[in-house]
Structure 1
């Protein structure tokens, strides 16, 4: 029991690729369910380990706290190279791996802080909130389109081997504006995320942590 990771997360959230990675590596972990977008009580669950009161937050068996989904994913895979879920430091794919692992939270994930509560920026003006919602939606779509124009996938985004970048994109592309628009904006990456959706090793996991419910593609 002393070697158990603790992951603060929630179904369908940015903790999902982290949890999938923990499973694929074969690490023992427990989840503290904290859908922080549902209110202060849920955010308070996370406050003790992450003052930003956001998920994911990972507590290592030694008590160290790691936050930010990309940082957690990179750290986990570098710490467990036998899982082959990230390019090694001397791998020619490493630069692009780090580029896109940083791009997703900086350019796409960050939009959801605005979308979840547009009043943070524009107060209670409903017209301004609607404008924020539309502009952030279009921005996310534009970012996927740009990424698609810059990658040349094989079976997976960086070639023939899957990395946590594939997990990250497969999860984030299910959020607004959802998969149908993602497929249209990023046709080169579309088959990759479908392949990740269909991974036999993750079918039970997806059903539990991010189910493919009716209409999930948008």
Structure 2
């Protein structure tokens, strides 16, 4: 999943909005692997209205990640950013090329993740957005967690057996995306049970030496990510 030419990643400088552990994390991991320079602005939009207001001047949706490109253009939507970065830096081998036989499979799952799973966290972060009755919110949280687990199970059942990554021999942005999201609700222990084939992939990405310093600084693995008590 590589090509012969690439822009100069070392000369490229990005500004990334989004707190450690957020949807900005796989984007930051991808930027780390391509060797780009990154300025971070930590904003945890799930912590409340004040944090969402901080990012409103950058992204009117008041969401992260938001990425300012070297050109000054703004990109939002984590999947779109990851696809764009992987295509921009083909030397890093982070995605199948447009004419590669795995390209359709790659795009399918890159869209599936935000459509089926990531989108549920918008209401989970602030249940009152869709469920104004506080008494009804625990049921919504429980059912949305079950839906997320079910979607992981469906993906695991349909994706080809990883060997050793989700798209074959090379780590891709799809692996980064799944690795980060699998630490979110309902957390890793449940993820391992629902998605046993993908479990081995995320453990491999957790241990990738190229990302060791990045994980330690931006999303350190702690027992709470396993047992769901984060």
| TM norm structure 1 | 0.96
Aligned-pair CA distance for 1:122: 1.8
Query: 1:17 aligned to 26, 34, 39, which one?
Result: 26
For the Cα contact (< 8 Å) 1:141–1:182, is it kept in 2?
Answer: yes
For the Cα contact (< 8 Å) 1:156–1:166, is it kept in 2?
Answer: yes
CA RMSD, 1 decimal: 1.3
Cα separation, 2, equivalents of 1:199 and 1:216: 18
- Which residues in structure 2 correspond to 1:121-140 (within 5 Å)? 121-126=130-135, 128-140=136-148
For the Cα contact (< 8 Å) 2:184–2:225, is it kept in 1?
Answer: no
- Which residues in structure 2 correspond to 1:193-208 (within 5 Å)? 193-208=202-217
For the Cα contact (< 8 Å) 1:2–1:61, is it kept in 2?
Answer: no
- Per-residue CA deviations over 1:7-53 (Å, capped at 9, x if unaligned) read 00101111000000001000111001111111222212211221001
Query: 2:154 aligned to 131, 146, 155, which one?
Result: 146
In the alignment of these two chains, the number of paired residues is 217
SS in 1 for 2:63: coil
Structure 1: 5+ residue runs without aligned partners?
none
For the Cα contact (< 8 Å) 1:12–1:210, is it kept in 2?
Answer: yes
Query: 2:49 aligned to 35, 40, 54, which one?
Result: 40
For the Cα contact (< 8 Å) 1:114–1:121, is it kept in 2?
Answer: yes
Structure 2: 5+ residue runs without aligned partners?
1-9
Residue in 2 that maps onto 1:94? 103
For the Cα contact (< 8 Å) 2:11–2:37, is it kept in 1?
Answer: no
Cα separation, 2, equivalents of 1:142 and 1:184: 11
Return structure 1 stretches of 4+ with deviation > 4 angstroms. Answer: none
Cα separation, 2, equivalents of 1:76 and 1:215: 30
| TM norm structure 2 | 0.91
For the Cα contact (< 8 Å) 2:94–2:173, is it kept in 1?
Answer: yes
